[in-house]
């Protein structure tokens, strides 16, 4: 089974879904991607051309204003501030969804098996000690995932845009398999990439394309891109930050955000606890500040029912059409999946508010705390967690159930 689901509206008299015949997202009133009447989940244009928030099925004026004040971090962080929100979400779906209860039971069975720990340690060792043969295998697997993603979502297909050409940006590109897949379906497209240099522990880029431009640096260090004009003098390494803004002035129809914190990445110890959060919001800020109006963002995420992941999907639903995708075989036992956000509206109020929050989060994770080297995210208001569940749970369940099923099936038959 391949997991790919859409958020569907429940407005009376209108249907939303995915048109598998021509690979277009169908929103309210039957508008298709590229149509001038395209559905915008949380905003629309007034008669004077100004953007305003609508009281739509996902985000109304009050919920958006309340939500825009809440921070967001990567779901992999497990500090104390995350435990209670995660517990609330867990209890909510454990009481309501049998597929989630089944997955939870399979996970617990795996945690109680010491051979499971040994298995994942071996997997980590393989990833950390990758040679050219293993790198080629990873590149091939990524291309297969890209083909499967295309078959399920058509997100790599040429998309109509006013500039008449398909531009691709791959953030954390190496080894480049997803860009290779996108170029396969868009042979006339140009591709740009950013990836960690080899001498800092990054992977080798295997993409062979004369139409690609690749920059090698740590994407979490783009201080000016993330709204910081002056580095605090108290920081132990102020010269490590960059004031350039890569690909400024360019917009992209398709952006991949596939970054994960690498154990092979050489970095100061003070960055360790907040690095996952810094990497997540760095990709999000850069993507929203380079995406073309109506473009598509594909982002690797983990554990769809984790509070911060759920919150991120809810936030994206305010300025894009949200789908998720999980390969049927590759990493089926893991919680990883892909957000596929199409028809992104980067100039909407919801998108601008999201970027503002992410910039604040990057600052806190980078310069916060007594030592000025990063602080944990502040505790989440439990009422806010319940509010988001009230607004988004039915839509979220449609997205999550196929993801839960694939991982649950894989774990149930797994014998480490």
Comparing 208 with 193, the larger pLDDT belongs to 193
pLDDT at 259 over 90: yes
pTM of the model: 0.81
**Domain range list for the chain:** 57-412
pLDDT of residue 43: 32
In the predicted model, what is the mean pLDDT of residues 302-312?
A: 98
Of 56-65, 186-195, 277-286, 405-414, the poorest mean pLDDT is in: 56-65
Comparing 78 with 257, the larger pLDDT belongs to 257
- Structure confidence by residue, pLDDT tens digits, 53-90: 333 333 343 343 334 334 433 334 445 567 899 999 99
Q: Using pLDDT thresholds of 50, 70 and 90, give the confidence band for residue 101.
A: very high
Of 129-138, 139-148, 336-345, the poorest mean pLDDT is in: 129-138
Q: 57-412: what CATH class?
A: alpha beta
CA atoms within 13 A on the CB side of 235: 19
Q: How many Å from the N-terminal Cα to the C-terminal Cα in the chain?
A: 22
- Structure confidence by residue, pLDDT tens digits, 210-245: 889 999 999 999 999 999 999 999 999 999 999 999
In the predicted model, what is the mean pLDDT of residues 341-348?
A: 98
- Return mean pLDDT, the chain: 82
pLDDT of residue 128: 60
pLDDT at 298 over 90: yes
- Structure confidence by residue, pLDDT tens digits, 31-63: 333 332 222 333 333 333 333 333 333 334 334
In the predicted model, what is the mean pLDDT of residues 98-122?
A: 84
């Amino acid at each position: 089974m391949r997991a790919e689901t859409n958020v569907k509206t429940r407005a009376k008299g209108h249907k939303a879904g995915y048109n598998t015949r021509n690979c277009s997202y169908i929103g309210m009133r039957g508008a298709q991607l590229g149509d001038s009447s395209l559905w915008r989940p949380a905003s629309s244009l007034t008669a004077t051309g100004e953007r305003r928030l609508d009281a739509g099925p996902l985000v109304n004026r009050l919920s958006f204003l309340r939500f825009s004040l809440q921070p967001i971090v990567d779901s992999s962080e497990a500090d104390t501030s995350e435990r209670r929100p995660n517990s609330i979400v867990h209890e909510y779906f454990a009481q309501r969804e049998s597929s989630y209860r089944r997955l939870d039971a399979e996970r617990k069975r795996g945690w109680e098996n010491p051979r499971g720990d040994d298995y994942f340690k071996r997997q980590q060792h393989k990833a950390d000690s990758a040679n050219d043969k293993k790198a080629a295998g990873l590149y091939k697997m990524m291309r297969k995932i890209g083909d499967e993603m295309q078959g399920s979502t058509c997100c790599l297909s040429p998309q109509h845009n006013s500039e008449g050409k398909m531009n691709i940006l791959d953030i954390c590109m190496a080894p480049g398999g997803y860009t290779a897949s996108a170029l396969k379906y868009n042979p006339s497209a140009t591709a740009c990439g950013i990836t960690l240099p080899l001498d800092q522990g990054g992977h080798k880029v295997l993409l062979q394309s004369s139409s690609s431009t690749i920059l090698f640096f740590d994407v979490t260090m783009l201080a000016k891109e993330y709204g910081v004009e002056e580095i605090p003098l108290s920081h132990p390494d102020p010269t490590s930050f960059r004031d350039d803004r890569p690909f400024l002035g360019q917009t992209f129809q398709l952006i991949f955000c596939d970054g994960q914190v690498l154990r092979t990445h050489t970095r100061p110890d003070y960055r360790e606890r907040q690095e996952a959060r810094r990497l997540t919001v760095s990709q999000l800020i850069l993507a929203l500040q380079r995406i073309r109006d109506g473009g598509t963002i594909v982002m690797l995420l983990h554990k769809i029912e984790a509070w911060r992941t759920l919150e991120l999907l809810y936030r994206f639903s305010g300025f894009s059409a949200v789908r998720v995708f999980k390969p049927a075989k590759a990493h089926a036992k893991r919680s990883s999946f892909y957000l596929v956000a199409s028809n992104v509206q980067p100039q909407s109020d919801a998108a601008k508010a999201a970027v503002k929050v992410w910039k604040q989060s990057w600052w806190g994770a980078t310069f916060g705390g007594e030592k000025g080297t990063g602080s944990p995210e502040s505790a989440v208001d439990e009422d806010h967690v319940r509010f988001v569940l009230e607004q988004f749970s039915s839509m979220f369940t449609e997205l999550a159930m196929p993801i839960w099923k694939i991982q649950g099936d894989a774990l149930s038959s797994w014998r480490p």
